[in-house]
Structure 1
């Protein structure tokens, strides 16, 4: 019996002890448990990935809605600004027209007052001059008649 034989016997005994102790079953169970854990981790990872994709889709939808709302707000603000600008321009134009009319009325009134003042002064001067001329050359009765006639004629022209 040589050393190879005893090595073979030791190997058979070792394999027998390993089988008796159910080491292959423990290894198989351990590998099965590890495979099951890995499977659960893969399922969890798959579930987390799906949740992450769902959240991503939800946030992308919210972002699109927020962008649309911002665009709507911007459009409404631009529309309102245009209306305010148009309203302000209209009010300014109306104000300018009113101020021009008021200025024209004041100018016409001043012109009328000036013409009336000039006419009044002309009448006063003409009457005074006529009175002096007539007083010096005519008798009082004729002068009085001419004066009344002149006043009536000037009065009718002013009206």
Structure 2
């Protein structure tokens, strides 16, 4: 309120009415009429308490702006907290994904090692089976050769015995064999 009075007094002192020549307090002097009109206007403004209304409106507007700033500040803090929460959640998800990837790599390595071990066991079993087959085939071949050699030897011995044996020797040989069988049976 004091400011308005100070401004009004300063504007009266600086008005062109004080600069005019001639009788100042005359209605014919336009400067005087303008000064009086201005003073009446200021008086009407003061009578209806327009400056206090304007100050109240300005205070109300300032309070509204202050409230909006506080609300914006609260929203900003809430947004920062939400952003921090999302960043924390993103880090947690990234760490979990890294753990899953590491676990999958470990499992892949273990599965590879297991497959390698299984393959080595399978190869060892097949080699053992092949060696068994070779040994069996070798034993079979040896037996076949032995049987063949025995058969050839028996045939050769039969031919030799048949050429050298006479009827008398054959009868004696049969009698000896019967006697030997008889002794073994009794």
The structure where helix makes up a greater share of residues is 1
Partner of 1:67: 94
- Bigger drift between 136-145 and 56-65 goes to 136-145
- RMSD over aligned Cα, in angstroms? 1.8
Partner of 1:152: none
Aligned with residue 95 of structure 1, among 93, 116, 122: 122
4+ residue runs over 6 A deviation: none
Partner of 2:45: 18
Alpha-carbon deviation of 1:8? 1.2
TM-score, length of structure 1 as denominator length: 0.86
Partner of 1:132: 159
TM-score, length of structure 2 as denominator length: 0.74
Pairing 1:51–2:51 present: no
Contiguous gaps of at least 5 residues in structure 1: 149-159
Alpha-carbon deviation of 1:133? 1.8
Pairing 1:28–2:55 present: yes
Partner of 2:17: none
Contiguous gaps of at least 5 residues in structure 2: 1-25, 178-186
Aligned with residue 117 of structure 1, among 119, 144, 150: 144
Query: Matches of 2:50 and 2:116 in 1, distance apart?
Result: 96
